[in-house]
Amino acid sequence: MEWAARHCDLRDDPERLLPGTKSVVVVAMNYYPPRLQPADAPQFAYYAYGRDYHEVIKQRLWQLAASIEQMAPCQTRCCVDSAPIRERYWAQQAGLGFIGLNNALILPKRGSYYFLGVLLTTLELEPDMPCTLSCGECRACIDACPSGALSGDGAVDARRCLSCLTIEHHGELPDWVSSVIGNRVFGCDECQKCCPHNIHAQPTQVTEFHPSDDFLSLTHDRIAQMTQEEFSRLFSHSAVRRTKLAGLQRNLSIVSPSPPKGGCPK
Ligand code: SF4
Ligand code: SF4
C-alpha cells in the first residue's frame, strides 16, 4: 500500500495534474451484480465480478471528455486510479454522496456499490453543491468488520483489512487471518453489505460488470486446481488479475469452505 503515501502534493492539487484545471467532474458507475455467487462458493468482492472497471470507466470518460471539448476549447484529463487524486473527496464536493465510516463513498438512496472516475478540465463549469450528509449515529460497518480494521473515525487499518490483505499483500498472510477470512478468497464486502444505504442497491445495467456463467460456477476445487491458462482466460480483463493465480490460491488455502454465519442480505 506504499503507493497511497506517494505523490501527496499531487493528490492535494489537481492543478498539478492538469495545469489550468478549473473544474473537476466526478462520475459514478453502479457495479452491484444482478446475479451473485452461490453462498458456499469462495467469495469474490462484488466489484471483481465483471470486467475491470479501469477499462470500462476510462472509455466512458474519454467520450465525456470529447463532448466537453466540443462545448468550448479546453483541455481535459481522465483519471481512473491512474493519477493521484482524491476521488471520494471530489465526489463529495460534487454532491454525489458522502464518505462513510467504512471509507466508501455513499450515494444517498443508491448505496456504495459504485466505481468512481474523475475528469479534470480547464473549462469552467457551474459547480454542484457539496453533499453534507453523514453516517449519523450508525456504526454498523464498524461492528460488522470481521477483522476490526475500522477505527470508527473514518480510518481503515490496511494491515487488518481483508480486502487489502487478500489482494495487495505479497507473501504469506499473517497467521491470524485464517481465523477471520471466512470464505472470502478475493476482497471483502462486509462493511458495505451491512450498510443501510445498500438496501437500495439496484443491479447494474452496465453489462460489462455482469458476471459470466463461468465465473459464477467457480468452486473451491476448481480454483485449487486452476491452471495459469484458465486463470488468464477468466481474469485477464478482471481486477482479479491483480492478485495473480498464486495469490488467489494462497488465499484459498486458508478460507473455510462454508459461508460465515450471520451477515446481511446484500
Ligand atoms: S473490507 Fe472487510 S476487512 Fe476491510 S474494513 Fe471492510 S469489512 Fe473490514
Ligand atoms: S454502515 Fe453505517 S456507519 Fe458504516 S458507512 Fe454505512 S451508514 Fe456509515
pLDDT tens figures, 154-177: 899 999 999 999 999 999 999 999
Cα-to-centroid distance, 101 and ligand 1 (Å): 11
**N-term to C-term CA, the chain:** 28
Residue matched to cell numbers 481483508 = 162
pLDDT > 80? residue 47: yes
Name the nearest CA neighbour of 202 among 107, 64, 99: 107
Give the confidence band of 84 by pLDDT, cuts at 50, 70, 90: confident
Cα-to-centroid distance, 266 and ligand 2 (Å): 14
Output the pLDDT for position 232.
Answer: 97
Output the pLDDT for position 263.
Answer: 47
pLDDT tens digits, residue range 6-28?
556 666 788 989 999 999 999 99
Q: Which of 13, 40, 81, 175 is catalytic?
A: 81
Q: What is the mean pLDDT of the chain?
A: 93
Does residue 167's CB lie within 6 angstroms of at least one atom of ligand 1?
no
Q: Which atom, in ligand 1's list, is nearest to the CA of 187?
A: 1
Domain ranges of the chain: 2-34+51-121, 140-252
pLDDT > 50? residue 264: no
Mean pLDDT value of segment 187-197:
97
Beta strands in 23-113, from DSSP E residues, in sequence order: 23-30, 43-44, 76-79, 98-99, 105-106
Output the pLDDT for position 261.
Answer: 54
Tell me whether residue 81 is one of the annotated catalytic residues: yes
Q: What is the pTM of this model?
A: 0.92
CB atoms within 10 A of CB 1: 10
Output the pLDDT for position 259.
Answer: 60
Name the nearest CA neighbour of 248 among 44, 108, 18: 44
> Taking the CA of residue 135 as centre, how many other CA atoms within 13 Å lie in the half-sphere pointing to its CB?
22
Output the pLDDT for position 11.
Answer: 63
Give the confidence band of 5 by pLDDT, cuts at 50, 70, 90: low
Does residue 144's CB lie within 6 angstroms of at least one atom of ligand 2?
no
pLDDT > 60? residue 216: yes
pLDDT tens digits, residue range 101-150?
999 999 998 999 999 999 999 999 999 999 999 999 999 999 999 999 99
Does residue 138's CB lie within 6 angstroms of at least one atom of ligand 2?
yes
Ligand nearest to the CA of 102: 2
Does residue 101's CB lie within 6 angstroms of at least one atom of ligand 2?
yes
CA-CA distances (angstroms) from residue 14 to 2, 10, 11, 117, 233? 21, 7, 7, 14, 37
Strands 23-30 and 114-121, bridge-based pairing: antiparallel
Element (H, E) at 120: strand 114-121
Does residue 194's CB lie within 6 angstroms of at least one atom of ligand 2?
yes
Q: Long-range contacts: 78-82, Cβ < 8 Å, 24+?
A: 78/117, 78/118, 78/119, 79/17, 79/117, 79/118, 79/119, 79/120, 80/53, 80/54, 80/115, 80/117, 80/118, 81/54, 82/54, 82/58
| Alpha helices by DSSP H, 72-136 | 87-93
Are the CB atoms for 51 and 208 separated by under 8 Å? yes
Give the confidence band of 64 by pLDDT, cuts at 50, 70, 90: very high
Q: Tell me which residue has its CA closest to atom 8 in ligand 2.
A: 135
To the nearest 10 degrees (0 to 180), the angle between helices 244-252 and 228-235 is 100
Strands 43-44 and 184-186, bridge-based pairing: parallel
Q: Which atom, in ligand 2's list, is nearest to the CA of 142?
A: 4
Cα-to-centroid distance, 129 and ligand 2 (Å): 22
